[in-house]
Amino acid sequence: MAKAHSHGQWTSRMGFVLAATGSAVGLGNIWKFPYMIGQSGGAAFVLVYLACIALIGLPILVAEWMIGRRGQKNPISTMAEVAAKHGSSRSWAVVGFTGVLGAFLILSFYSVIGGWALSYMGDAATGAFAGMDKDATGAAFTAFLGNAGSLLTWHSVFMLLTVGVVAMGVAGGLERASKLMMPALGVLLLVLVGYGMTTGGFGQAAAYLFNPDWSKLNGGVVMAALGHAFFTLSLGMGIMMAYGSYLGEDVDLLRTARTVVIMDTVIAIAAGLAIFPIVFANGLDPAAGPGLIFVTLPLAFGNITGGVALGTIFFLLLTFAALTSAISLLEPVVELVEERTPLSRVGATVIAGFATWALGIAALLSFNVWGDVTLLGLNIFDLLDQLTSKFLLPLTGLGAIVFAAWCLDQESVRRELKLSEGGYALWRIVTRFIAPIGVLAVFVGNL
Ligand code: PHE
Does the beta carbon of 324 lie inside 6 Å of ligand 1?
A: no
Distance CA 253, CA 304 (A): 45
Tell me which of 391 and 352 has the higher pLDDT.
352
Instruction: With beta carbons less than 8 A apart as the criterion, state whether 317 and 295 touch.
Output: no
Fold adopted by 13-446: Hydantoin permease (1.10.4160)
Computed over every residue of the chain, the mean pLDDT equals 94
Q: How many CB atoms lie within 10 A of CB 437?
A: 11
Tell me which of 428 and 231 has the higher pLDDT.
428
Instruction: Please give the pLDDT value at position 447.
Output: 79
Q: Is the four-CA dihedral 80, 86, 87, 88 of positive or negative sign?
A: negative
C-alpha distance across the termini of the chain, in Å: 38
Q: What is the pLDDT of residues 361-377, one digit of tens each?
A: 999 999 999 999 998 88
In the chain, the amino acid numbered 393 is L
- In a 13 Å sphere around the CA of 210, the CA atoms on its Cβ side amount to 10
The CA 179 to ligand 1 mean position distance, Å, reads: 18
Ligand 1, atom 7, residue with closest C-alpha: 234
Does the beta carbon of 20 lie inside 6 Å of ligand 1?
A: no
Does the beta carbon of 23 lie inside 6 Å of ligand 1?
A: yes
The CA 238 to ligand 1 mean position distance, Å, reads: 12
Ligand 1, atom 2, residue with closest C-alpha: 26
The CA 189 to ligand 1 mean position distance, Å, reads: 18
The CA 60 to ligand 1 mean position distance, Å, reads: 15
Residue 445 pLDDT class (50, 70, 90 cuts):
confident
pTM: 0.95
Backbone phi and psi for residue 421, each to the nearest 5 degrees, phi listed first: -55, -55
The CA 23 to ligand 1 mean position distance, Å, reads: 6
pLDDT of 105 > 50? The answer is yes
Does the beta carbon of 269 lie inside 6 Å of ligand 1?
A: no
For ligand 1, pick from 231, 320, 388, 389 the residue to mutate: most ligand atoms within 8 Å of CB.
Answer: 231
Does the beta carbon of 321 lie inside 6 Å of ligand 1?
A: no
pLDDT of 6 > 60? The answer is no
Of the candidates 66, 58, 23, 60, which has an alpha carbon nearest to the alpha carbon of residue 247?
66
* Cβ-based neighbours of 436, under 8 Å, separated by 6 or more: 398, 401, 402, 405
The DSSP code for 369 is T
213-217 long-range CB contacts below 8 Å, 24 or more apart? 213/41, 213/42, 213/44, 214/41, 214/44, 215/41, 216/39, 216/40, 216/41, 216/44, 216/45, 217/40, 217/41, 217/44, 217/45, 217/48
Q: Where are the domains of the chain?
A: 13-446
- Nearest atom in ligand 1 to the alpha carbon of residue 322 is 12
The CA 325 to ligand 1 mean position distance, Å, reads: 6
CA distances (Å), origin 332, targets 97, 174, 245, 337: 10, 12, 10, 9
Does the beta carbon of 349 lie inside 6 Å of ligand 1?
A: no
pLDDT of 288 > 80? The answer is no
Ligand 1, atom 11, residue with closest C-alpha: 234
52-90 in b/e form (b: 16+ CB < 10 A) is bbebbbbbbbbbbbbbbbbbbbbbbbbbbbbbeeeebee
Does the beta carbon of 232 lie inside 6 Å of ligand 1?
A: yes
